[in-house]
Amino acid sequence: MSVHAIVAVASDWAIGRQGELLCHLPADMKHFKEVTMGHSIVMGRKTFESFPRRPLPGRQNIVITRNRQWQYPGVTVVHSVEEAIAAAETEDVFIIGGADVYAQTLPLVEVLHLTVIHARWACADAYFPTFDMTEWQEVEREHHTSDHRNAYEFDFITLKRRQP
Ligand SMILES: NC(=O)c1ccc[n+]([C@@H]2O[C@H](COP(=O)([O-])OP(=O)(O)OC[C@H]3O[C@@H](n4cnc5c(N)ncnc54)[C@H](OP(=O)(O)O)[C@@H]3O)[C@@H](O)[C@H]2O)c1
């Protein structure tokens, strides 16, 4: 099994504000769908509840919560990070956030799919955890300019954890 994480970050590693994403980038939504489709996705209960349409179709949705009563149709509910990874039914499992869950799972992640948005939001309140870039190797980078649908420039970057 391979553990991946996928995240869209601003230039200062911010990822959200008031329980929502920082901006709407259709090109990134499409990329997220392409990368995660058919796989197990692991998320915190707050991220799951932020989706307008849920669970996300075509993927095993695994939601982590401490609330033993919480359930939702079509969702695999777990109560720890370890349980989340063990519950994954696909070979590749994708951690999809939010800040709390990224911080706890990053040590397990082997491949990091970053969308780096070339902008900053002063009102951000959720951040990707800091990490040592020397432990990672960049294996892909694709630059995108802004256009009429995507208001910001961004890069799709894939990092793989270096073998010790
Ligand atoms: N930019 C991006 O790519 C991206 C991606 C995803 C999310 N986000 C943003 O991130 C923000 C949400 O992040 P967040 O940190 O507030 O919330 P989160 O990580 O989505 O969810 C946190 C919740 O997950 C559960 N949880 C976390 N660790 C657990 C553990 N070890 N055991 C059991 N349950 C656990 C708890 O749920 P209970 O409270 O139910 O116990 C906790 O309150 C939003 O702004 C969202 O839009 C951004």
Calculate the alpha carbon distances from 39 to 3, 4, 22, 54, 164 in Å: 11, 11, 25, 16, 27
pLDDT for the residue numbered 163:
86
Containing 48, the helix (H) or strand (E) segment is: helix 45-50
| Alpha-carbon span 71 to 94, nearest angstrom | 20
The residues spanned by each domain of the chain are 2-161
**Helix, strand, coil tally for the chain in percent (to 5):** 25, 35, 45
Q: How confident is the model at residue 6 (pLDDT cuts 50, 70, 90)?
A: very high
- For residue range 103-132, what is the model confidence (pLDDT) as tens digits? 999 999 999 999 999 999 999 999 999 999
Pocket test for ligand 1, best of 21, 28, 48, 100 (most atoms within 8 A of CB): 100
Mean pLDDT of the chain: 97
Average pLDDT on 139-153 reads 97
CA 63 – ligand 1 centroid, Å: 9
pTM: 0.98
Please name the residue whose Cα sits nearest to atom 48 of ligand 1: 15
Q: How confident is the model at residue 66 (pLDDT cuts 50, 70, 90)?
A: very high
pLDDT for the residue numbered 98:
97
Q: Which superfamily does 2-161 belong to?
A: Dihydrofolate Reductase, subunit A (3.40.430.10)
- For residue range 26-37, what is the model confidence (pLDDT) as tens digits? 999 999 999 999
